[in-house]
Structure 1
């Protein structure tokens, strides 16, 4: 199991919107999709999730999109929660209705539940430590380093 690529695409889109913030009119779903190398419909879906979370502003048509918040206020956890459809904010889910007549079936949910909860907390604590602004600054640093070579 893995977290879907919506998470990295969400970070990608927010980063690009920040880098192009002086030209919001170019940030159409087609332009953004070209950067991600995906279909514009995928970008529109993820942008809708980011909009619903209050991270971006979008307008219908070719008007482009822009950030709704300064990225120094947006953590990777914010993006994760915006785009990952996790049941009750749970990264891991335990299958429902195991066989109560089986020793494993009777005990599996209790036996692994705490471990899953701890892993979820560790992930969230890690994602809280990094803002999308930090990601953008790293992108710019990497780009400047490439240009010098």
Structure 2
């Protein structure tokens, strides 16, 4: 199973924006915290903007900010804004119908995978960006 890092980047960016609520941050500032490329961060922020989670302003004091309060943004909101498709990969092609296991495996896995993905969604819906912001110690070095 291979899960992309887009959701981790999105959640990191949203948490930074929540931490500095009231101040716009540039994609370069967010990328610095991620030790990443600003182009990658802009792509992720674009998906978050499309989902209504962030907004951007142009100009000298421009940057990115949350579109709604951090307490109203869940980790699942971030995940669904940037990820496509199921979390768990299905068979790339149908297994052998001549095999006793192969005949039934897709149906069996579909049930298990769907329930696992639903449990993940429910768990991510319980955590907000505001909660993560609250878990970050203050008083240390800021990015």
TM-score relative to the length of structure 1? 0.83
1:2, distance to aligned residue in structure 2 (A)? 4.2
SS where residue 103 of structure 1 aligns? coil
5 Å-filtered alignment, 1:45-84, equals 45-59=43-57, 63-84=62-83
SS where residue 38 of structure 1 aligns? coil
Structure (1/2) with the larger helix percentage: 1
2:31 aligns with 33
4+ long deviations beyond 4 Å: none
1:112 equivalent to 2:109? Answer yes
1:10 aligns with 10
1:23, distance to aligned residue in structure 2 (A)? 2.5
Q: Give the Cα–Cα distance (whole angstroms) in 2 for the partners of residues 65 and 17 of structure 1.
A: 8
1:85 aligns with 84
Q: Give the Cα–Cα distance (whole angstroms) in 1 for the partners of residues 123 and 39 of structure 2.
A: 30
Identify if the C-alpha distance between structure 1 residues 37 and 61 changes in structure 2 by more than 3 Å, giving closer, same or farther.
farther
Any stretches of 5+ residues in structure 1 without a counterpart? none
Q: Give the Cα–Cα distance (whole angstroms) in 2 for the partners of residues 135 and 43 of structure 1.
A: 19
Any stretches of 5+ residues in structure 2 without a counterpart? none
TM-score relative to the length of structure 2? 0.86
Identify if the C-alpha distance between structure 1 residues 133 and 2 changes in structure 2 by more than 3 Å, giving closer, same or farther.
farther
Identify if the C-alpha distance between structure 1 residues 39 and 102 changes in structure 2 by more than 3 Å, giving closer, same or farther.
same
Aligned length, in residue pairs = 139
Larger RCO, structure (CA 8 Å, separation 6 or more): 2
